């Protein structure tokens, strides 16, 4: 996706040094980090919100699925 974004920026002729102010939220933040690695001299600022450099799975697929399903099951109030 970062390469797709780079192609778009090149097509728009946004190629000057320090011309870009990038903001990425969640997965967009991961894409923004990749973009910053690809074209560091063209970026003026990089804002990363609710993102990470990588995601590490700490649970199995089924456990993760079960936890997400449980978020939608109504709970009684204490």
Quick one: three-class SS letters along 32-51? Answer: HHHHHHHCHHHEEEEEEECC
In tens digits, the chain (78 residues) has pLDDT values of 999 999 999 999 999 999 999 999 999 999 999 999 999 999 999 999 998 888 888 889 999 899 889 989 888 887
Cα 49 to Cα 78: distance, rounded to the nearest angstrom: 34
Check: CB of residue 77 under 8 Å from CB of residue 52.
no
Query: pLDDT value at position 19?
Result: 94
Global pTM? 0.69
Query: pLDDT value at position 53?
Result: 84
Q: Which residue has the tokens 């993102």?
A: 51
């Amino acid at each position: 996706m970062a390469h797709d974004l780079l192609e778009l920026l090149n097509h728009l002729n946004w190629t000057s040094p320090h011309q870009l102010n990038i903001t990425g939220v969640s997965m967009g933040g991961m894409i923004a980090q990749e973009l910053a690695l690809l074209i560091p001299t063209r970026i003026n600022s990089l804002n990363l919100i609710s993102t990470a450099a990588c995601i590490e799975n700490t649970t199995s697929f089924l456990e993760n699925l079960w936890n997400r399903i449980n978020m939608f099951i109504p709970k009684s109030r204490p």
